[in-house]
Amino acid sequence: MAYQIGDNCVACGLCVEACPVNCISEGTPYTIDADACVACGLCAEACPVQAITE
Protein backbone atom coordinates (compact mmCIF):
# COMPACT_ATOMS: atom_id res chain seq x y z
CA MET A 1 0.00 0.00 0.00
CA ALA A 2 1.32 3.42 -0.95
CA TYR A 3 1.83 6.21 1.52
CA GLN A 4 -0.15 9.46 1.34
CA ILE A 5 0.76 13.04 2.20
CA GLY A 6 -1.78 14.87 4.36
CA ASP A 7 -2.92 18.46 4.52
CA ASN A 8 -0.49 19.29 7.32
CA CYS A 9 2.48 18.97 4.93
CA VAL A 10 4.82 21.98 5.27
CA ALA A 11 6.59 21.33 1.92
CA CYS A 12 10.04 21.02 3.49
CA GLY A 13 11.25 18.52 0.88
CA LEU A 14 12.75 16.02 3.33
CA CYS A 15 10.46 13.27 2.05
CA VAL A 16 11.60 13.87 -1.53
CA GLU A 17 15.23 13.47 -0.46
CA ALA A 18 14.45 10.30 1.53
CA CYS A 19 12.52 8.48 -1.20
CA PRO A 20 14.68 5.78 -2.83
CA VAL A 21 12.42 5.44 -5.89
CA ASN A 22 11.75 9.15 -6.51
CA CYS A 23 7.97 8.79 -6.44
CA ILE A 24 7.24 12.03 -4.56
CA SER A 25 6.42 15.12 -6.60
CA GLU A 26 6.84 18.61 -5.20
CA GLY A 27 3.91 20.94 -5.51
CA THR A 28 0.95 22.19 -3.58
CA PRO A 29 0.31 19.68 -2.20
CA TYR A 30 3.19 17.25 -2.52
CA THR A 31 2.01 13.93 -3.99
CA ILE A 32 3.16 10.33 -3.94
CA ASP A 33 2.80 8.21 -7.08
CA ALA A 34 0.98 5.16 -5.68
CA ASP A 35 2.11 2.94 -8.57
CA ALA A 36 5.79 3.73 -8.00
CA CYS A 37 5.75 3.73 -4.19
CA VAL A 38 7.38 0.64 -2.67
CA ALA A 39 5.97 1.36 0.83
CA CYS A 40 9.41 1.47 2.45
CA GLY A 41 8.33 4.15 4.95
CA LEU A 42 11.46 6.28 4.62
CA CYS A 43 9.42 9.32 3.65
CA ALA A 44 7.22 9.01 6.72
CA GLU A 45 10.29 8.67 8.94
CA ALA A 46 11.81 11.81 7.39
CA CYS A 47 8.68 13.94 7.80
CA PRO A 48 9.06 16.41 10.70
CA VAL A 49 5.30 16.98 11.04
CA GLN A 50 4.07 13.40 10.57
CA ALA A 51 2.11 14.40 7.45
CA ILE A 52 2.77 11.09 5.68
CA THR A 53 0.64 8.07 6.54
CA GLU A 54 0.12 4.60 5.15
Supply the pTM of this predicted model: 0.91
What are the residue ranges of helices labelled H in 1-54? 14-18, 42-46
Summarize pLDDT for 2-12 with one digit per residue, the tens: 899 999 999 99
Q: How far apart (Å, rounded) are the C-alpha atoms in residues 1 and 14? A: 21
- Residue type at 2? A
Q: Which domain holds residue 36?
A: 4-53
CATH number for the domain including 25? 3.30.70.20
What are the residue ranges of helices labelled H in 5-41? 14-18
Q: How far apart (Å, rounded) are the C-alpha atoms in residues 36 and 12? A: 21
Total domains in the chain come to: 1
Summarize pLDDT for 10-49 with one digit per residue, the tens: 999 999 999 999 999 999 889 999 999 999 999 999 999 9
